[in-house]
Structure 1
């Protein structure tokens, strides 16, 4: 175990992270309020979030979350530049993909019954930024995100999962933990502090 910690320590000095990708479903709003509320105003690394929601939903998610953080939150538009100190949310009914330096939106078929799909975001981030990605899975009631987290891990990125006993729905965290040798399993406030440690 101590060997693994050393490895991560070594890796951390060498890698400047390009993006944090977060996936959540049922119970995600409450979880994101806590996680984002625990991040400092100078958190540099861009954060991209897929929260499963109804395809008719409007931008209230952005407004609700903005009350908990001073980092600007925006719903992604196609070809948006990926900027430091910003939080990006996948719009309802679009897949969110990472491309070098910017985002893309897609109306391809749902993945794991979801559009936006966590897997699509995570896999595209892993393809573009490899070991410079941190993938985070929070509460949720399906298995979306499991394959994406696996790909982030395979490309050398870091993986964090919400402690299932603290999740409103433990299905998504449990699925991720069963499929991936995740780096950390943490409570929401500890996920935030771990992100700060890794990115600053």
Structure 2
């Protein structure tokens, strides 16, 4: 099977580029991630943003196969809003929205859309955008985590900080769903934690300031940006490049998972590239367990029904001993089904 020729370094998402677009010296890239409750939060934020903000804003909201987020934000914002497209250049005073089904990534002054492996059960996911921005723009990046469940955005915000950028989270007490801001606060050195009512003014002030220096981009961040951009397969990695083998399997493809110690954050990534925070992995495991319980319940209910019908047929043929055996089996299967049903109900919030 032929392999694609590698992209030139000038087109690779994992290659750091310390030349800022349009020669800007300020913090000219704002990356924003949101999940549950995010549509309302984003509408409020873009409504308050001044159109003269000296930065481009890139938004990832967890969405399904169809999304009208770009149109929704376009009606609320005082500046141009566009659905991101492959090769589109970033522009100050513009908002770019990740479309469904693709990770939104940054390289130099333009955007990449890639159907790379899902991260935290999502595509588009927040972490890939944040990592790619950190790789290309380092100290020129402001990362923002808004309302949402679980922990997408935490690892990406950590990458932004590692590369010299600024971290901002919505005050969890102000968030419709506080999990994502809380996760970031617990695991990342956060520079600013503010309610939405103060967010637009803060972002304008930060974007107007001179960007800090960009340190050497850690190889792990470059590597994971390349995986999201489908420029590098984790199957090509040697042990230790990202993490150590774990005893867990990927809930997406059921391959083995590597355990990655990312500062205070423990994460997991499989050989095909699916990535999970520990809490997302536990949630996926819980979903798998619940699905298995429902399948087991259905199987026991069907076995009980089949045994009862068999018992009735044998009784009609006056095979009373066999009918009695089948009736006893039916009772056992029904008891097992009842036990499984009780376990399912105990798991229901």
1:196 positional shift? 1.1
1:44 positional shift? 2.4
Aligned position for 1:30: 40
Give the secondary-structure state (helix, strand or coil) at the position aligned to 1:30: helix
1:130 positional shift? 0.4
1:152 aligns with 2:160: yes
Aligned position for 2:113: 105
Aligned residue pairs total 185
Aligned equivalents of 1:45, 1:121: Cα separation in 2: 16
Aligned equivalents of 2:51, 2:26: Cα separation in 1: 19
Aligned equivalents of 1:175, 1:149: Cα separation in 2: 11
Q: By percentage of residues, which structure has more helix?
A: 2
Aligned position for 2:29: 19
Aligned position for 2:90: 82
The Cα offsets for residues 97-125 of structure 1, whole Å up to 9 and x where unpaired, read as 00001000110110111100100000000
What RMSD over aligned residues (CA atoms) do the two structures have, in Å? 1.2
Query: Unaligned regions of 5+ residues in structure 1, if any?
Result: 1-13
Aligned position for 1:62: 70
Query: Unaligned regions of 5+ residues in structure 2, if any?
Result: 1-23, 209-349
1:135 aligns with 2:143: yes
Matches within 5 A, 1:159-170: 159-170=167-178
1:70 positional shift? 2.0
The Cα offsets for residues 112-168 of structure 1, whole Å up to 9 and x where unpaired, read as 111001000000000000010000000001211100000101111000000001101
Aligned equivalents of 2:104, 2:51: Cα separation in 1: 25
Aligned position for 2:58: 48
Aligned position for 1:175: 183
Contact 1:118–1:148 (CA under 8 A) maintained in structure 2: yes
Which is higher, the Rg of structure 1 or of structure 2?
2
Aligned position for 1:92: 100
Higher RCO by CA contacts (8 Å cutoff, separation 6 or greater): 1
TM-score w.r.t. length of structure 2: 0.52
Contact 1:15–1:131 (CA under 8 A) maintained in structure 2: no
The Cα offsets for residues 62-108 of structure 1, whole Å up to 9 and x where unpaired, read as 11111211211011111111111110000001001000010001101
TM-score w.r.t. length of structure 1: 0.90
The Cα offsets for residues 33-69 of structure 1, whole Å up to 9 and x where unpaired, read as 11111111212200000000112x13x2111111211
